[in-house]
Amino acid sequence: MRIDEQVEALVRAVLDAAVHRDAARFDSAMDALGASQEVFTAAVGLTLAVNAAVLFEVHDGLPSAHQVDELSRTISHQEQWAGVSAEDAHAVLSAVTTGPPPRIENAAGGMTAVFVVAANLLATASRPDEGEWWFNYLDKVEAAIEAAG
């Protein structure tokens, strides 16, 4: 997957706001993503790929249904600021593991969870105590996504 630099910068802004649980900045960054349907669709595609890459790396492959259920509840609890329900998180995680991809509408169409889940996965899977912050981990994930084709 070739990653468009403009889309990547917009996604990174959304993820940064989500990692910092800054609702106002998150909403503003999501609005910027929604300015163009083409950019928004590419951003969701990239973020779903990030979700999949991190999820598969953390679980050394496809997570079990039980792991997806547990992770969905954990993310919902940790990301209450964004109003992401366990069902929303589960839908995203299922979409990147076994389920059909989500229907992409627009920034106001319920796609918030895609970005919040990615931010959560990146933040919890990175190792800041070893100098690998979420954004450094994202760099590695994006390099792997591009290398995969």
Residue 102 has a pLDDT of 66
The type of residue at 94 is S
Q: What is the pTM for the complete model shown? A: 0.92
Residue 128 has a pLDDT of 79
Mean pLDDT by 10 residues, the chain (149 residues): 94 98 96 91 94 95 95 96 92 87 55 94 89 91 92
Find how far residue 74's CA is from the centre of its chain: 15
Angle subtended at Cα 92 by Cα 88 and Cα 97, rounded to the nearest 5 degrees: 140
Residue 40 has a pLDDT of 92
SS3 105: coil
DSSP state of 130: G
Residue 103 has a pLDDT of 62
Helices 112-125 and 86-97: crossing angle, nearest 10°? 80
Question: Residue 95 phi/psi, 5° resolution?
Answer: -60, -35
